[in-house]
C-alpha cells in the first residue's frame, strides 16, 4: 500500500491525492515527496552517514514499533530502518535493521541454503556466511560505510556496519521496479548493478525499506485480487500480498470474539441466540471444528473478554448482554459455565426502532473494565446517564462512573498502542438523508461530551433541538467516517505478520448501510485507518466483496488480532469467521 492519502467520496470510491504538505518544526528536516520528517538523533545519523543516496527519503514517522527482537523507537526510510538504542554508546545508539534478511524471509527464501562462493583473486571472501563480493560490487562495498572512527576513508568495520555480510552470490533478479539486474544480497542491503547508468550510479542500493515497510507501494490506487472459496456465493477482494480464508461456518450470529489464554480456544457472543459460544480447533488444521455452548439466556449478548483475576489467578471470562454484565466460571466437561455471576445490571430497552442492544466490554491499560452502552433511540434525551456513554468500573463492578458521554453508539473501541489513548468508532444518527451525518472515529477523553443527541458532525445542531449552546463544548470528530456505514469491531494492529506500515493503525469492521437510509447500499467491508502523528488521516478498504452489486451476503462484525499477527473477522449475516493473512 502506498503512503499517499485518499479522499473518501460518496459510494465508497477512493480517489488518489497527494500527501499533505508538512510544516517542519524547529530542528526537523521534512521531505515533501513523502510528507515525513526526521529530527534529533535520527536526523544527525542520516546526515552524517550518507543521507539520501544511502538511506533514501523517510517513508514513515518516528514511532515505537514492535519487531521480532522487541519494541524500539524506529523510523523507516526507502533503503533502511533506524532503531534507537539509547542504552548503547554513540555511534551504536542507532542501529540499522537487517532488511536484506527480512526481505528474503518475507519472500520465503532461506539465504542459508543459497549456493556458496569461493575465495578468488580480486574479491573479498566472507567466511561468516560463505559468500564472495567481487566487482562491480566490491568497490562500492569498500568505499561506503558508517562513520565510526573519525578518520578519513572507510574501514572494513564501517562497511560491515552499514551493509552487513553478503547473503548471496551475484545473480540476475527482477527488482521491485520491474528491472532485471545483477543483484547481490547483504544483511542490511541489496546491491543492484545498472551498467547503462553514468558513474558513480552504476551500483545502486535496492529500496529494501520501502519493500519491507509497505510491500505493494506505488503511486496509484491499491491493487486488489479476488479470493474465492467453494462455499462462498461471491469472491472477496483483498490487496495483493494478502489472502483470506474461512475458519468457521454455520455459526449463529457471531459478533465480538476473544481468545482464551489458557487453551487458545475462541469465544464469541451470539446476539440472536443470546448465547456465549466457544470454538475449538481439535486437529490443528486451522479450522474450528468443535462448538460448545458456554452460557445461554443472556439477552443479545454481543461482547466477551478474558480478565486476569490477579497474580497467580486464571483469566476470568466476562460477557456483556443487553441488560447485564456477567462473570462465567466453573466449566463442566461440555464447556458449559456452571456459575453465572452478575457483576452489574445495565440499562436496557428501546424507545424507537433505532434503540441499541449491543454492549461492548474491554479491559483497559489501567486494569479497569470499560463498557459501551448505546442509546435507546435515534435522537432523544436519555432517562439515565448510563446510556449513550462509555462507562468505567473496577473488575468487580464497583466504583462505576461515566467515562465519556454524548456517544450515540460507540460499539468498537480500543487503545492506541504505546499510549493510554482510547479511540472509538461511533454511529451517527439516521433520517437526515443518505449523505448526511457521518459516522465518527473519536479519541475518547475522560469527562468529555461528544454532542449526541443535540448535535452531529462538526457540532451541527440537530433540528429536533436546534440548540447551538448545547453543542458549543462538545468535541468534534477525530475523523468523519462514511455516513450510515455502521462501524462495529475495532482493533489497533500491534503484530509483525502484516507489513510494518500497519503497526499502530486501526482496523474497523463496517456492518454496512441500512436500506431505509441510503439509495445505494455501501460499507460491508473491513477497512484500514491510517494514523499519522497520532491522528487518523486516511481510510482504505482491506477486505471487501460482501456487497456484490446490491446482493449482500455478509456483514463484518468483529475483528480480532491473533498471536501470530493474522486477523479474525466475524460475519453475523453469513454465519462465518474468516482469517486475514499476509503472505507476500
Q: Is 223 inside a domain boundary?
A: no
270 and 401, same domain (yes or no)? yes
pLDDT digits (tens, 9 = 90+) for 389-417: 999 999 999 999 999 999 999 999 999 99
Peptide bond connecting 128 to the previous residue in cis, omega within 30 degrees of 0: no
Q: Which of 213, 230, 259 is the last residue of a domain?
A: 213
193 and 267, same domain (yes or no)? no
Q: Is 233 inside a domain boundary?
A: no
120 and 263, same domain (yes or no)? no
Range(s) of the domain holding residue 172: 5-213
Q: Where are the alpha helices (DSSP H) in 302-421?
A: none
Cell numbers linked to 532: 499519522
Q: Is 85 inside a domain boundary?
A: yes
Q: Is 229 inside a domain boundary?
A: no
Q: Which of 172, 197, 213 is the last residue of a domain?
A: 213
| Contact (Cβ atoms closer than 8 angstroms) between residue 318 and residue 327 | yes
67 and 107, same domain (yes or no)? yes
139 and 247, same domain (yes or no)? no
Q: Can you tell me the distance from the alpha carbon of 48 to that of 505, in angstroms, rounded to the nearest whole number?
A: 31
Q: Is 190 inside a domain boundary?
A: yes
pLDDT of residue 41: 95
468 and 365, same domain (yes or no)? yes
pLDDT digits (tens, 9 = 90+) for 283-330: 999 999 999 999 999 999 999 999 986 666 788 999 999 999 999 999
Number of structural domains (the chain) is 2
321 and 468, same domain (yes or no)? yes
pLDDT of residue 93: 93
pLDDT of residue 67: 83
Q: Is 363 inside a domain boundary?
A: yes
258 and 121, same domain (yes or no)? no
Structure pTM?
0.92
pLDDT of residue 458: 95
Q: Can you tell me the distance from the alpha carbon of 391 to that of 296, in angstroms, rounded to the nearest whole number?
A: 25
Q: Where are the alpha helices (DSSP H) in 147-207?
A: 156-163
In angstroms, how far is CA 283 from the centroid of its own chain?
A: 29
388 and 535, same domain (yes or no)? yes
430 and 559, same domain (yes or no)? yes
pLDDT of residue 10: 26
Using CB atoms within 10 Å of the CB of residue 200, give its burial: 0 to 12 exposed, 13 to 18 middle, 19+ buried: exposed
- The phi and psi torsions of 140 (rounded to 5 degrees) equal -65, -45
Indicate left, alpha or beta for 81 from its phi (over 0: left) and psi (-120 to 50: alpha). beta
- Stated as kind and residue range, the H or E segment containing 531 is strand 525-532
Q: Which residues of the chain have pLDDT under 70?
A: 1-22, 216-220, 309-312
- The phi and psi torsions of 42 (rounded to 5 degrees) equal -65, -40
Q: Is 116 inside a domain boundary?
A: yes
pLDDT of residue 310: 60
Q: Is 225 inside a domain boundary?
A: no
What DSSP line would sit under 447-512, residue for residue?
A: T-B--TTTEETTTEEPTTT--HHHHTTSPPPSEEEPTT--EEEEEE---SSS-GGGTT-EEEEE--
Q: Which of 156, 178, 213 is the last residue of a domain?
A: 213
- The CATH number covering residue 461 comes to 2.120.10.30
200 and 294, same domain (yes or no)? no
What three-state secondary structure class fits 159? helix
291 and 408, same domain (yes or no)? yes
Amino acid at each position: 500500500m502506498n503512503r499517499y492519502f485518499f479522499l473518501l467520496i460518496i459510494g465508497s470510491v477512493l480517489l488518489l491525492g497527494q500527501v499533505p504538505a508538512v510544516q517542519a518544526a524547529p530542528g526537523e528536516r521534512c521531505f515533501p515527496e513523502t510528507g515525513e520528517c526526521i529530527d534529533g538523533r535520527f536526523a544527525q545519523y542520516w546526515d552524517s552517514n550518507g543521507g539520501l543516496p544511502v538511506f533514501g527519503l523517510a517513508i514513515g514517522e518516528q514511532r515505537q514499533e514492535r519487531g521480532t527482537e522487541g519494541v524500539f523507537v524506529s523510523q523507516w526510510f526507502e533503503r533502511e530502518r533506524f532503531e534507537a538504542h539509547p542504552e548503547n554508546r554513540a555511534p551504536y545508539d542507532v542501529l540499522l535493521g537487517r532488511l536484506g534478511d527480512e526481505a528474503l524471509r518475507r519472500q520465503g527464501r532461506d539465504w542459508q541454503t543459497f549456493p556458496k562462493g569461493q575465495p578468488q583473486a580480486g574479491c573479498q571472501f566472507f567466511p561468516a556466511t560463505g559468500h564472495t563480493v567481487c566487482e562491480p560490487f566490491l568497490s562500492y562495498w569498500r568505499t561506503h560505510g558508517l562513520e565510526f572512527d573519525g578518520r578519513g576513508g572507510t574501514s572494513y568495520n564501517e562497511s560491515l556496519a552499514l551493509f552487513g555480510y553478503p547473503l548471496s552470490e551475484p545473480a540476475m533478479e527482477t527488482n521491485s521496479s520491474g528491472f532485471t539486474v545483477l543483484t547481490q544480497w547483504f544483511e542490511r542491503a541489496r546491491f543492484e548493478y545498472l551498467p547503462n547508468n553514468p558513474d558513480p550510479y552504476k551500483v545502486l542500493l535496492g529500496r529494501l525499506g520501502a519493500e519491507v515497510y509497505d510491500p505493494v507501494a506505488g503511486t496509484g490506487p491499491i491493487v486488489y485480487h479476488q479470493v474465492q472459496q467453494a462455499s462462498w456465493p461471491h469472491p472477496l477482494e483483498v490487496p495483493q500480498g494478502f489472502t483470506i480464508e474461512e475458519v468457521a461456518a454455520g455459526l449463529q450470529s457471531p459478533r465480538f470474539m476473544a481468545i482464551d489464554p489458557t487453551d487458545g480456544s475462541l469465544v464469541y457472543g451470539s446476539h440472536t441466540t443470546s448465547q456465549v459460544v466457544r470454538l475449538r480447533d481439535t486437529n490443528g488444521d486451522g479450522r474450528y471444528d468443535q462448538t460448545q455452548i458456554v452460557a445461554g439466556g443472556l439477552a443479545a449478548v454481543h461482547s466477551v473478554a478474558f480478565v486476569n483475576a490477579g497474580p497467580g489467578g486464571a483469566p476470568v471470562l466476562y460477557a456483556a448482554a443487553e441488560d447485564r454484565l456477567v462473570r462465567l466460571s466453573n466449566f463442566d466437561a461440555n464447556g458449559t459455565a456452571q456459575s453465572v455471576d452478575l457483576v452489574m445490571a445495565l440499562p436496557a430497552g428501546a424507545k424507537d426502532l433505532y434503540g441499541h442492544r449491543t454492549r461492548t466490554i474491554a479491559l483497559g491499560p489501567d486494569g479497569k473494565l470499560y463498557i459501551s452502552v448505546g442509546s435507546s433511540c435515534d435522537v432523544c434525551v436519555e432517562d439515565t446517564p448510563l446510556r449513550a456513554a462509555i462507562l468505567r468500573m473496577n473488575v468487580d463492578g464497583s466504583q462505576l462512573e461515566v467515562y465519556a458521554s454524548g456517544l450515540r453508539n460507540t460499539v468498537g473501541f480500543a487503545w492506541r498502542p504505546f499510549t493510554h489513548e482510547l479511540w472509538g468508532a461511533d454511529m451517527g444518527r439516521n433520517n437526515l438523508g443518505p449523505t448526511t451525518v457521518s459516522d465518527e472515529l473519536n479519541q475518547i477523553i475522560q469527562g468529555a461530551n461528544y454532542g449526541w443527541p443535540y448535535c452531529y458532525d462538526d457540532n451541527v445542531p440537530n433540528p429536533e433541538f436546534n440548540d447551538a449552546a448545547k453543542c458549543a463544548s462538545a468535541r468534534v470528530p477525530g475523523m468523519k467516517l462514511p455516513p450510515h456505514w455502521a462501524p462495529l469491531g475495532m482493533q489497533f494492529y500491534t503484530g509483525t505478520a502484516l507489513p510494518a506500515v500497519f503497526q499502530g493503525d486501526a482496523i474497523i469492521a463496517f456492518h454496512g448501510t441500512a436500506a431505509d437510509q441510503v439509495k445505494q447500499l455501501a460499507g460491508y467491508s473491513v477497512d484500514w485507518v491510517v494514523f499519522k502523528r497520532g491522528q487518523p488521516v486516511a481510510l482504505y478498504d482491506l477486505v471487501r466483496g460482501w456487497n456484490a452489486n446490491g446482493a449482500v451476503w455478509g456483514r463484518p462484525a468483529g475483528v480480532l488480532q491473533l498471536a501470530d499477527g493474522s486477523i479474525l473477522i466475524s460475519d453475523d449475516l453469513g454465519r462465518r469467521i474468516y482469517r486475514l493473512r499476509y503472505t507476500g
